[in-house]
Amino acid sequence: MAKTPALQVVADSGTEHTIHTFDAGSSNFGEDAAHSMGGDPTRIFKTLVIELSTGKLAVCVIPVPEKLNLKRAAKAFGVPKAAMAETAKAQRSTGYVPGGISPLGQKKNLATAIDSSAQDHDTIYVSAGRRGLELEISPTSLAALCDATFSQLTLSN
């Protein structure tokens, strides 16, 4: 299997991880991952790119079943407002296609926040940089690799 930039980051770091594949379907990639991989869907995280009121892009990593709270996201990055980034901007900045955006190995490393619920699990799943490819990794290792902070980013926590 060809390595994605995300997998290369993990391999270069020597961080313990597991790679999983699944049939990505054609939309709702996070839900497809949760369905295909079974288990607890709150362990499967999606990577969302947002635009901060400063004009900069940032990344929020949240559980697939949850919705991003933009007010909490803005607070996590210390700005008054945030909005979802345009798909084309997210793709250009990260180098990944929607449904395959990983918090790791982006073309331009974006500031990243991981929902604090990730810390409730020994490992979580995030996109490994391609639709149908997931990386299982400890939340603390993921945070260290992408220089992320943990913050409440969803409505339910």
3-class secondary structure per residue, 6-44: HHHHHHHHCCCCEEEECCCCCCCHHHHHHHHHCCCHHHE
- Report residue 112's pLDDT band, with 50, 70 and 90 as the boundaries: very high
Rg of the Cα atoms in the chain: 14
Average pLDDT over residues 26-37: 58
**Chain position carrying tokens 């969803």:** 154
Q: Which of 54, 150, 94, 75 is nearest to 45 (CA)?
A: 150
73 phi/psi in degrees, rounded to 5: -65, -45
| DSSP summary character for residue 67 | -
Q: Please determine, for residue 146, whether its predicted confidence score (pLDDT) is greater than 70.
A: yes
- Report residue 33's pLDDT band, with 50, 70 and 90 as the boundaries: low
pTM of the model: 0.91
Residue range 65-107, pLDDT digits in tens: 999 999 999 999 999 999 999 999 999 999 999 889 999 999 9
Question: On the CB side of 105, how many CA atoms lie within 13 Å of its CA?
Answer: 22
CATH of domain 17-151: 3.90.960.10
Residue range 46-63, pLDDT digits in tens: 999 999 999 999 999 999
CB 64 within 8 A of CB 45: yes
State residue 22's pLDDT score. Answer: 74
Q: Which residues, at least 6 apart from 17, have a Cβ–Cβ distance to it below 8 Å?
A: 10, 135, 136, 137, 141
Describe the strand order of the beta sheet including 124-130 as a list of residue ranges: 18-21, 133-137, 124-130
